[in-house]
Structure 1
Amino acid sequence: MAVKMDNVGIVVEDLTAAIEFFQELGLELEGRTLVEGEWAGRVTGLGDQRVEIAMMRTPDGHGRLELSRFIEPSVVADHRDAPVNALGYLRVMFAVDDLDATLDRLHGRGSALVGDVVEFGGVYRLCYVRGPEGILVGLAQELG
């Protein structure tokens, strides 16, 4: 049985700010739309819902990120400030060509470095940043 990951979803309050942040990282906006109605609620188990969705795509076309802003029903929990060792979904990580340049660009969008940029085994430079609304994003630059 073949399995292929389609996307990772993140719920946000400010969809435009999240789109701009991930565009600055290098993702491309594939589309933005309103999803609503009973059929959508049957999939999520939320009943009648209205959700604005933006689908972002990595430049290589192999990864997608679905950003969602719930209009109805309202958001019920907020995990944006959870530390890296919290249970459940926590972060998404992207491979980048130039970690320092990426950090500079994202800093202009209000991101903040969580800890330090570290080197792992002479193979990667790694770090975490908090983007808009505290979204935790990992960045990795392969050394070589």
Structure 2
Amino acid sequence: MTIQRMDNVGIVVDDLPAAVAFFTELGMELEGEADIDGGPADRMLGLDGVRTTIAMMRTPDGHGKLELTKFHAPAAVTAGPAEPPPHTMGLHRVMFAVDDLDATLARLRGHGAVLLGEVTRYGDAYLLCNLRGPSGIIVALAERLG
């Protein structure tokens, strides 16, 4: 037996509309939003009184998805610094391949994105950068060269 596919990556955010706007600007499409509470959510998460709103975002090719979740109850918990550095244990970042890194970065700056280091050339293969997006999420961008 083997897995079928990676379905999505879940990210807890504090401002769902801002996160949706950011990832829409990046080029993802909003697949749908839903309010979820109690019952199965409580049991699956091992929490009581769950109330969330989720937004499912998908990449243009339809294969990659992010599930952005805003917890209304219980309140989201911050484990460590609000904006952990890139070398923090756990989920490190989400990376997207883009056609034009500079243009994409310029658009995302309009949604509060902050470059963590600098745009870096990796040999003759890629331009790469890390930026901080909504709710402190680290997003990496990669533009294939040649």
What CA RMSD, in Å, does the superposition of the two structures yield over aligned residues?
1.1
How big is the shift at 1:60?
0.3
Q: Which runs of 4+ in 1 moved over 4 A?
A: none
Structure 1 alignment gaps of length 5 or more: none
1:9 is aligned with what amino acid?
A: G
- The alignment partner of 1:29 has SS state of strand
Q: Deviations over 1:25-49 (max 9, x none)?
A: 0000000110111211111111331
Pick which of 95-104 and 69-78 moved more.
Answer: 69-78
> Could you tell me how far 1:63 is from its partner in structure 2?
0.2
Structure 2 CA distance for aligned equivalents of residues 94 and 80 of structure 1: 23
Q: Distance in 1 between matches of 2:8 and 2:48?
A: 22
Q: How far apart are the structure 1 equivalents of 2:82 and 2:103?
A: 25
Q: Which residue of 2 aligns with 1:77?
A: 78
Match of 1:12, as an amino acid? V
More displaced stretch, 63-72 vs 78-87: 78-87
Partner of 2:8: 7
Q: Give the corresponding residue for 1:87.
A: 89
Match of 1:41 in 2: 42
CA distance in 2, matches of 1:104, 1:77: 29
Partner letter of residue 2 of structure 2?
A
Any conservation in 2 of the 1:55–1:65 contact (CA below 8 Å)? yes
Higher mean Cα deviation, 2-11 or 55-64?
2-11
Q: 1:4-44, CA deviations, whole angstroms, 9 ceiling, x for partnerless residues?
A: 10000110111000000000000000001101112111111
Are the equivalent residues in 2 in contact too, given 1:80–1:135 (CA < 8 A)? no
Q: How many percent identity over aligned positions?
A: 56
Normalising by structure 1, what TM-score?
A: 0.95
1:122 corresponding residue in structure 2: 124
In 2, the alpha carbon distance for the partners of 1:93 and 1:25 equals 11
